[in-house]
Amino acid sequence: MRPAAPAAALLALAMLAACSSANGSEPEASASDLLGGTPELAEFYGQELAWEDCGDGFQCATFEVPMDYEAPDGDRVEIAVNRLPAAEPSERIGSLVLNPGGPGGSGIEYAAAARLVTSAGLQQRFDIVGFDPRGVGQSTPLSCMSADEMDEVFFESDGGDEMAELEADSRAFAEACEANAGPLLGHVGTDDVARDLDVLRALLGDEQLSYMGASYGTYIGAYYAELFPDRARALVLDGAVDPQLDALEVAIEQAEGFETAFDAYAATCVVKDDCPLGTGVTVEEARANLTELVESVEGEDLENNKAGGEPIDSEVVLEGVLAALYSPDSWTQLNQGLTDVAEEGNGTRMQALVDALYEREDEEAYTNSTSMLYAVNCLDYPTPRETDAFEEAAEEAEEAAPLFGADVVWGSLPCAYWPVEGPAEPPVLTGAGAAPILVVGTTRDSATPYVWAEALAEQLESGVLLTRDGDGHTGYMMGDSCIDQVVDTYLIDLEVPSESTVCWGG
């Protein structure tokens, strides 16, 4: 789950025993099993997916869903889907649907990396399926701003009053979404995505859903369990979101998660001779040294090695640190980037870290993931409309997370001006009646703190918590064979671990 990102005037980035048959096999579903049970939706559940080859062993298709499930005869949304057929058709269990999170992440692109993000065992037994949620990527898209306008809001500062600029940029972004996104803006919430997911389940020919969602994808899975508990075969919710939080609580706790992740990064850095934050110093001293570096380049333009590239705003330094905390695989690049800034005034590597998080494909283009991040979050989370509430939350966050706290909180400000009203209270998602649901939490997860996994496992009546003691965002296929084996066994054989299961990174 990405933290929200308000404007370049701030340093934040514009951003969840055995159950059944021993072999996991299922009876072939009848037409009545597959339909949603609502006559008004029979047309949608009765579609056929026209699969076409789309390269590298994958097949692609599209299907339609109602824009508004309360008015299914109205406008429609097209959903794009792809799949990698099971490598062992004779042992096929069914489909395993993936979602990478975001909000705004492309399930099509995630599934296209199936050979990297799922095990060979899962690829043998399941069709690996991805879909772009409504508004995202190849599905009916939602767009708020041009690339130039996005740069102005998220990467550029006019050098004036910081708070006034933040409020103006946040309001401008919300107004642009109202003007350009159309009626879809009010129908991209997670409840709608969960309903789309059930239509997809039926069209795939599965009586029950097997699903693995990462980060924000855990929210989709939890919502699915609430709406369709009897249709959930196996749900893996990795890097869990806590559905019971409001927008400012999410920001405060997420900032604490990034601060915890920074401490883990700093602890590995300071033992190295070339650590840009100091060798042999304490983690607290490393934090102070980073703050000093940020302040030393504040207001300056950093060099850009890209041919024809514009100078880089100095605020990229802290933004790049936050981006790198998603994965220890980025920590070497972070060390190099901070060294470049300190010794050469060059921000190229730090900008690359930020661009990857924003899905800023080049200097001229973005995917629409940032627009969708806000469109979904502003619909999903209760958010105050008064800036006083943000000021109080920012103070609390800064005390708990000095590096990132205030900026992550202010990143939610566009939702205060959002044209579509969000909920007054968070949803209560218990998944009552669902089969056991596996919730995976990583102890030093940056973007989805471990406490969220504990909370979601407790809120779901059949939730079972699997703990990974480690670094980075999410746990599955992160180099921990223990986690991978437990998840695979659950998905294939429907066996869940004991509540006390902890994997230690090996």
Half-sphere exposure of 336 (CA within 13 A, CB side): 10
Radius of gyration over alpha carbons of the chain, in Å? 22
Is 187 part of the annotated catalytic residue set? no
Q: What is the DSSP letter of 226?
A: H
Query: Is the distance from CB of 373 to CB of 15 less than 8 angstroms?
Result: yes
Length of the chain as a residue count: 506
Q: Please pick, among 313, 473, 484, 493, the residue that the annotation labels catalytic.
A: 473
151-156 contacts, C-beta under 8 A, 24 or more apart: 153/7, 153/8, 154/5, 154/6, 154/7, 154/8, 154/14, 154/358, 154/370, 155/8, 155/313, 156/8, 156/313
Q: Tell me how far apart the alpha carbons of residues 249 and 243 are, in angstroms, rounded to a whole number.
A: 11
Which class for 78: exposed (0-12), middle (13-18), buried (19 or more C-beta within 10 A)? middle
Say if CB 464 and CB 439 are below 8 A apart.
yes
Considering 445, 480, 484, 493, which one is annotated as catalytic? 445
Catalytic residue among 157, 215, 369, 446: 215
Q: Is 215 a catalytic residue?
A: yes
> HEC string of 319-376?
HHHHHHCCCHHHHHHHHHHHHHHHHHCECHHHHHHHHHHHCCCECCECCCHHHHHHHH
Q: Is 342 exposed, middle or buried (0-12, 13-18, 19+ CB in 10 A)?
A: middle
Helices (H), 155-241: 162-180, 190-203, 217-227
Amino acid at 9: A
Please, are residues 429 and 226 in contact by the beta-carbon 8 Å criterion? yes
Q: What separation, in Å, do the N-terminal and C-terminal C-alpha atoms of the chain show?
A: 25
Residues 116, 146: Cα–Cα separation, whole Å:
32
Joined tokens for residue 80:
């794009």
Catalytic positions are 215, 445, 473
